[in-house]
Structure 1
Amino acid sequence: MKISELTNYLETIAPLAYQESYDNSGLLVGHPNQEIEKALIALDCTEAVIDDAIAKGCDLVIAHHPIIFSGLKRLNGSNYIERTILKAIKNDIAIYAIHTNLDNIYGGVSSKIAERLGLLQHAVLKPKKNLLKKLVVFVPRAHVEAVRSALFDAGAGSVGAYDECSYNTAGYGTFRPLAGANPSIGEIGVQERVEETKIEVIFPSNLERKLILALYASHPYEEVAYDLISLENSHAQVGSGAIGNLQSPMQEQDFLALLKDKLKVNVIRHSKLFNKPIQRVAVCGGAGGFLLADAKRSGADIFITADYKYHEFFDAEEDIIIADIGHYESEQFTQELLLEIIQKKFANFAVLLTEIDTNPIKYYS
């Protein structure tokens, strides 16, 4: 299939609009129309991973971390980034990154950690705001079902664990077609009064174009009357980290042992223990220190993340335990997550996990 078939699907799960402003997710090397037969999944795209792709006959590498973060002024092989890209291009291997947009969805990177720890009914720790809009449209009564169904099919009306959500108000509209109009209802120069329904639906702002196209395709009027309203509401399914509860409280040392086992961690750096049971757990894959205040507000007993600095451990104070398990360790199961997502949709497409350990941090014991 073409690269675009696969990447377009991935972006329905983790839209590029959900990535952070500093990020560079998306197709970094290759053309959307390039034909592919096999993909390799890795946490990082390195020279060794490209070699692995070559050996396995893969023509696409899907990596969590983008190999290109900032602009490149030259490609002469002076560092590992340039060498990796050059090797990929020479061997006709495309590179796709799915980074903070995968971090920022329910069911993404942090959800995978929550799942492995057995957290019950986990939710997004810090939902994002300003990602939702409301569409208000006025529809003649006979066409309400068709328009509403088209909007639902385009992605409108999903709120948490519910879909096909709308609010509908009966009323009437007036209009007078002028010369040059081609009205589906009414006559030129005569004011028309039509029984109408006002339909209101909420939708993710990245679906706006798709929604408007569906609206125009299903609405009978030549001139469609509608409003688009930006909302400040939090998007419960999009944001950073995850929060959930253990099935039963655990002693701190027992939970740390569970953490090492379930997340395959060799070393845990943590703040002071309180000799109190742990039940409510906050997690964030990668560098999640910016979520500490949210973890505290959520009532978490422990916050599991990575990349904590010495002085930042003091910020735990007497409120919470900070557990730093390492960046690679916190995100390593992202590869399995991507494999599951792709195989669920493309059961006959060959997708492999790299056997290369790309963790740049080693431990001596």
Structure 2
Amino acid sequence: MLVAELVELLEQRYPLSWAESWDRVGLTLGEPSAEVTKVFLAVDCDPRTVQEAVAAGADFMFTHHPLLLRGVSSVAPTTYKGAVVHRMIKAGVALYTAHTNGDVASPGVSDALAARLGLLDVRPLIPVGDDGRGHGRIGRLPSAMALADLAALVSASVGGVRVAGPRTATVETVAVAGGAGDAWLADAARAGVDAYLTSDLRHHPAHEHLAAGGPVLLDVSHWASERPWLDDVAAFLRRETGLQTIVSDVDTSPWTFLEDGNS
């Protein structure tokens, strides 16, 4: 399969027109006529994941976050992003990104997060079309559980979690949003769900949300909330192309450990 053919397939699945106007998605690096034999998938394109892709012999890298989201005036190898670009070009690795167009897709980033929790009757938190697309997802747990038990489920199936709410609070309906989700706190409250799971929640918006009686909050790392989607994309590519896929588990979160003062 050629890079151009794989790009066409991905853009049928995640049209560029679905991306936000500020986003930078699609093919970033790579010759359209180059052959693709192995696809490497990661949340971020950084030196660690690029090295992993090169070591694995991948010739196409699919990432969720754009490497060049904001304009740069140079891709000299002495710069952080320039070094990544040069490494990939020398190794013959194409780079493709699906970001906010993957967020709103159906199935998309938040569908994968909802599936990790086993949510049923899943629907968009904020619909953007009549085909199941939209920001975030709402679903119900197979059976109601205490917030403490939901936190344990999230920790085991997604990653470490911060929780705001009484441990004994009963949760049955849950809204989820992969990536930074405090922009949709009010939407989660209006939806009447019992809990909202997302990442990158900020102090003041979360405080005001809870003071207004909004649903309890569960906050995981940005990386952890989006990593499950890569498995879905990889399965789609294997099914449609027969290409070998490798999904990175390199945690590209900037936070490396928790110090609670008790160790």
TM-score, with length taken from structure 2 = 0.92
- SS of residue in 2 equivalent to 1:113: helix
Match of 1:39 in 2: 39
Amino acid at match of 1:337: D
Counterpart CA distance in 1 for 2:83 and 2:64 is 19
Match of 1:110 in 2: 110
Superposed counterparts of 1:19-58, under 5 Å: 19-58=19-58
Q: 1:320 aligns with which of 173, 191, 215?
A: 215
Superposed counterparts of 1:1-365, under 5 Å: 1-128=1-128, 234-263=129-158, 265-266=159-160, 268-273=161-166, 275-314=168-207, 315-317=209-211, 318-347=213-242, 349-365=243-259
Alpha carbons 1:124, 1:236 under 8 Å: kept: no
**Structure 1 pair 356/250, CA: closer, same or farther in 2 (3 Å)?**
closer
Give 1:301 deviation, angstroms: 0.6
Give 1:360 deviation, angstroms: 2.3
CA deviations on 1:179-237 (whole Å, 9 max, x unpaired) are xxxxxxxxxxxxxxxxxxxxxxxxxxxxxxxxxxxxxxxxxxxxxxxxxxxxxxx4342
- SS of residue in 2 equivalent to 1:332: helix
RMSD: 1.6
Alpha carbons 2:182, 2:202 under 8 Å: kept: no
**Structure 1 pair 59/260, CA: closer, same or farther in 2 (3 Å)?**
same
Question: How high is the sequence identity, in percent, across the aligned residues?
Answer: 32
- SS of residue in 2 equivalent to 1:121: strand
Give 1:274 deviation, angstroms: 7.5
Counterpart CA distance in 1 for 2:107 and 2:187 is 19
- SS of residue in 2 equivalent to 1:112: helix
Give 1:296 deviation, angstroms: 1.2
Match of 1:175 in 2: none
Counterpart CA distance in 2 for 1:27 and 1:279 is 41
For the pair shown, the structure with the greater C-alpha radius of gyration is 1
Alpha carbons 1:106, 1:123 under 8 Å: kept: no
Amino acid at match of 1:336: D
Counterpart CA distance in 2 for 1:89 and 1:69 is 19
Q: Compare the two structures and name the one with the higher helix fraction.
A: 2
Hey, which bits of structure 1, 4+ residues long, moved more than 6 A?
Answer: none
**Structure 1 pair 355/111, CA: closer, same or farther in 2 (3 Å)?**
closer
- SS of residue in 2 equivalent to 1:124: strand
Structure 1 segments unaligned to the other structure (5+ residues): 129-233
Counterpart CA distance in 2 for 1:295 and 1:114 is 15
Alpha carbons 1:4, 1:32 under 8 Å: kept: yes
Amino acid at match of 2:226: E
Counterpart CA distance in 2 for 1:121 and 1:246 is 9
TM-score, with length taken from structure 1 = 0.67
Structure 2 segments unaligned to the other structure (5+ residues): none
